[in-house]
Amino acid sequence: MDAEVFRTWIVSAAEVIEANRDHLTQLDAAIGDADHGINLARGFTAVLGTLDTPPTKASTPGGILTLTGNTLISKVGGASGPLYGTAFRRAGKSLGDAADVDLPALSAALDAALAGVQQLGAAREGDKTMVDALAPATRAFSKAIAEGASPDDAFVSLVEAAQAGAVATIPLQALKGRASYLGPRSVGHEDPGAVSTVLILGALAEAARAGR
């Protein structure tokens, strides 16, 4: 996967976030402050603005992810900005300046992204956050690769695990972030950040498929 695949990922992520902006915001209205879709749409719009703009123009997979992370951190006010920003920065750092990224390298980058989110936000699986989608997804992806799955199957595993993880947040009580202020009243709603993680990983799977 070359820089073009990663550029396509980020552009598609921006599109799918924009298309789901109201949905994400409604999810956040139930257990937060109704801004998750707005926050992310604003952030990814800013990312699109910087992606091709000299002197920041990024030309490697890692450079594109690092630029994405930096922009999300600087443009998104909510908790999700620094968390996603750190995720993309860590993934970018993990890829280094490689011009081409294979599945194991991508898997390691996603592991690094998860580690960054957990280091910053201190959420564990079951706390009803984006970690509940990202952690099982990275696990399923590395397992599929280790078992010799085809790239298509590995990406299907990634997205399906994220989706299952997001749905599984519905019966949970939030223990981190704004939703935790609701206590037991946070039960019965899907976590917005887990849903946006599904969308972003879905865009990755799509970009990788299109790039082959």
Applying CB under 6 A, the residues found at the interface with ligand ADP are 28, 32-33, 35-36, 39, 78-80, 83, 117, 121-123, 129-131, 176-178, 191-194
Instruction: Report the distance separating Cα 140 and Cα 89, nearest Å.
Output: 22
d(Cα 7, Cα 25) in Å, to the nearest integer? 26
- Look at residue 188 and give its three-state secondary structure: coil
Q: Minimum CB separation from Mg ion for residue 109, in Å?
A: 27
Closest CA to 153 of 162, 163, 143: 143
Contacted by 176, from ligand ADP, Mg ion, none: CB < 5 to 8 Å by type: ligand ADP
How far is 192 from 10, CA to CA, in rounded Å? 19
* Shortest reach from residue 100's CB to Mg ion, in Å: 37
Q: State which amino acid sits at residue 14.
A: A
79 binds, among ligand ADP, Mg ion, none (CB under 5 to 8 A by kind): ligand ADP
H or E element at residue 16: helix 3-19
Smaller CB separation from ligand ADP, 14 or 103: 14
- Write down the least CB distance from residue 212 to ligand ADP, Å: 31
Compute the radius of gyration of the chain from its Cα atoms. Answer: 16
What residue is closest to ligand ADP based on CB? 193
Burial class for 53, CB neighbours closer than 10 Å (0-12, 13-18, 19+): exposed
Residues that bind Mg ion (CB under 5 A): 28, 32-33, 35-36, 78
Which of Mg ion, ligand ADP, none has residue 138 at its interface (CB below 5 to 8 Å by kind)? none
Minimum Å distance from CB 133 to Mg ion? 16
Q: Which is nearer to ligand ADP, 78 or 151 (CB)?
A: 78
Closest CA to 209 of 5, 3, 24: 5
Q: How far is the CB of 116 from Mg ion (least distance, A)?
A: 20
